[in-house]
Amino acid sequence: MLAAIVERYGAPEALTIREVPTPEPGPEQVLVQIHASVVTPSDVAFRNGELWIARLFSGPFKPRLPILGDAFAGIVVRVGAGVTGFAVGDRVAGSTGPELAAHAQFAVVDQAGAIVKLPDGVAFGAAAGLCDGGLTALPFLRDQGQVRAGQHVLVNGASGSIGTTAVQLARAMGAVVTGVTSTRNVELVRALGADRVIDYTKEEFTAADAAYDVIFDTVGKSSFARCHDALKPEGIYLSPTPMLSPTMLKRTGRRARFAATGLRRPVDKAKDLIQLFDWVSQEKLRTVIERDYALAEIAAAHARVETGHKVGSIVVNMPVTSMEP
């Protein structure tokens, strides 16, 4: 099979497309022919090695896992002898988890893992994008932020893959939603359901005084210190980036929370995926995709994500030549 391989830390050009052995599914695993995956900021961090916290996971000196990619969508082409929940031909989507390996034509996934059957009518690219943004936004808002109807929620980075999903979910939870984005994406964020949109090139959202119950900094470009005064006295600052000062956390009733949502139990991810795709089927939720790239263009996809200004998801379509590996 073809896969995007990274064997040294570096620029996007460190990625190469190679033929590698197709994995064999174990007794409790399925082999998925991947039709679409996405490139995320985590993939960029695991490829360039610039963040020490990323190297704790990916390897101190060189990448531990040569094939990156977590979110996927595709078709089951082989099942292990003990698999009962899936059959050959099932359209599926999910998260490969800590072993990554979704930037390839095929991947093995545990049947008890974060994998679900796709509803009819959901495209593979949209499904892969939701497995990225949705599996982060939902647990942050529901579990960490405990968002309730009537609360004021601000989403920083409202036009990214996590942010576009978070705006829609917060609105569905009954919150009054403020989205923060750049000038060119103001109308997109408004169309996703934001009650108010702040153009960060013209207004500093942290200047607000005790305005928000929850600030979800989806891109980690702000900080609890900067957002502190914009939170209500019992407000919560949420970030997928662990850069919080313990001293700052103890200063007031305001709280900051980081959660490694990618490390949640696969069964919990699967439950969330079922809920997310149910909302998609009901047309209550949609995936925003900036562009589709071919696997051969994955270096360009990485370069785009690395700019920090992508809109929604960056999808990578795998070459599909046969239903058999």
Domains along the chain with CATH numbers: 2-131+266-317 (3.90.180.10), 133-261 (3.40.50.720)
Quickly tell me which residue has 């599914």 as its tokens.
Answer: 25
Q: What is the pLDDT of residues 267-291, one digit of tens each?
A: 999 999 999 999 999 999 999 999 9
298-306 and 41-48 are packed helices; what angle lies between their axes, rounded to 10 degrees? Answer: 100
Radius of gyration in angstroms for the set of CA atoms belonging to the chain, rounded to a whole number: 20
Reading the block at residue 270, the tokens are: 């699967």
CA atoms of 35 and 104, how far apart (whole Å): 9
Cα distance between the two ends of the chain: 7
Mean pLDDT of the chain: 91
CB crowding 63-96: b at 16 or more within 10 Å, else e = beebbbbbbbbbbbbbbbeebeebeeebbbbbbb
* Average pLDDT score over residue span 228-243: 83
Q: Categorize the per-residue pLDDT at 251 as very low, low, confident or very high, splitting at 50, 70 and 90.
A: very low
> Can you give the pTM of this predicted structure?
0.91
Q: Categorize the per-residue pLDDT at 246 as very low, low, confident or very high, splitting at 50, 70 and 90.
A: very low
Q: Classify residue 230 by its DSSP letter.
A: G
Strand, helix or coil for residue 174: coil
Listing DSSP states for 184-222 in one string gives: GGHHHHHHTT-SEEEETTT--GGGSSS-EEEEEETT--S
